[in-house]
Each structure stands twice: as C-alpha cells, then as structure tokens.
C-alpha cells in the first residue's frame, strides 16, 4: 500500500504562491546553467522509503489546509557541510491540487496513509480556478 508524507508549507499563502516560487527557482537554475530539480530538504529521513516510493506524494498544508500535493520521485539522505544528516525529498515539478482538508499545525513531516489522504480535486475544464481565499472559506464551511 502506498504511503504519503504531509508537511506544512511555511511562508506560502496559496497554491499559486507555491507555483510562483517553483517557477522562480526553475528560472534561477536555468540562468545559472543548471538543470532544475525540485527538492525539499528535511532533517529526518523517512524510514518507510519502500512504502513511499513509487507512488507516494508530499501533501502540502497551506494556511491550515492540505491543498496540493507533489509526487515523490526519490528520497536522498545526505550529510551537509556542517556534518548534520539531512534528507532531500525529490519532488515532481507538477503540483496536483487536492480537495482541501484541514490540518492543525505540527513540526516536521508526518506519514499519511493513502486512505486518509485527500483526493485529487476534480478539474472543471471550462471554469477558472477558484481564488484561494474562497476555496479556504468554503472548505471551512465543509462545502469543499
């Protein structure tokens, strides 16, 4: 069974904000002549790697709500320049919107069982994306 991770997306106000940050990082890498790889560095290494890969995702909590996920590509433990063990979560650059799901604040990341993960949001082909503030209010009312 596939296992996922969930983590707070600190400093980000919306999915659009996260996408803008990714676009900026991609542009910086291109300008410096590097290939872009979306990674998120954590202090703890997930011990359940075989359950996370392949098929797991990192679900991002933005403003108290799970709103989007990034599919996991790889998990790479390493030691930084200061001798501290860390882990790079290698993520797909494509963000996948999910149904919103409230989450209380927590530190680090947590495992998320597949049956507890929010489903991917249904796309409405002819409708524009709903503003993040409206999506958040509707989710708080239990309408999303």
Assess contact for 132 and 14: CB atoms under 8 A: yes
Per-residue confidence (pLDDT) for residue 2, from 0 to 100? 87
Q: Is the peptide bond before 34 cis (omega within 30 degrees of 0)?
A: no
Q: pLDDT (tens digit, 9 = 90+) per residue, 82-93? A: 999 999 999 999
Q: pLDDT (tens digit, 9 = 90+) per residue, 6-58? A: 999 988 988 999 999 999 999 999 999 999 999 999 998 999 999 999 899 99
> Is the per-residue pLDDT at 67 higher than 50?
yes
Token pair 């989710």 is at which residue?
139
- Rounded distance, CA 13 to CA 82, Å? 31
Share of the chain above pLDDT 90, in %: 62
pTM: 0.81
Greater pLDDT, 97 or 137? 97
Two tokens, residue 74: 């790889």
> Is the per-residue pLDDT at 135 higher than 70?
no
Assess contact for 65 and 42: CB atoms under 8 A: no
Per-residue confidence (pLDDT) for residue 59, from 0 to 100? 96
Average pLDDT, the chain: 87
């Amino acid at each position: 069974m596939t296992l996922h991770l969930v983590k707070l997306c600190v400093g980000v106000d919306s999915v659009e904000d996260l996408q803008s940050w990714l676009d900026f990082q991609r542009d910086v890498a291109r300008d410096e002549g590097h290939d872009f790889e979306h990674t998120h560095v954590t202090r703890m290494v997930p011990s359940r790697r075989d359950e996370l890969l392949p098929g797991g995702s990192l679900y991002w909590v933005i403003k108290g709500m799970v709103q989007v996920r990034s599919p996991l590509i790889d998990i790479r433990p390493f030691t930084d320049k200061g001798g501290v063990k860390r882990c790079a979560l290698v993520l797909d650059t494509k963000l996948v919107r999910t149904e919103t799901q409230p989450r209380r604040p927590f530190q680090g990341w947590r495992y998320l069982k597949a049956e507890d993960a929010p489903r991917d949001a249904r796309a409405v082909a002819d409708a524009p994306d709903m503003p993040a503030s409206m999506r958040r209010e509707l989710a708080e009312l239990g309408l999303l």
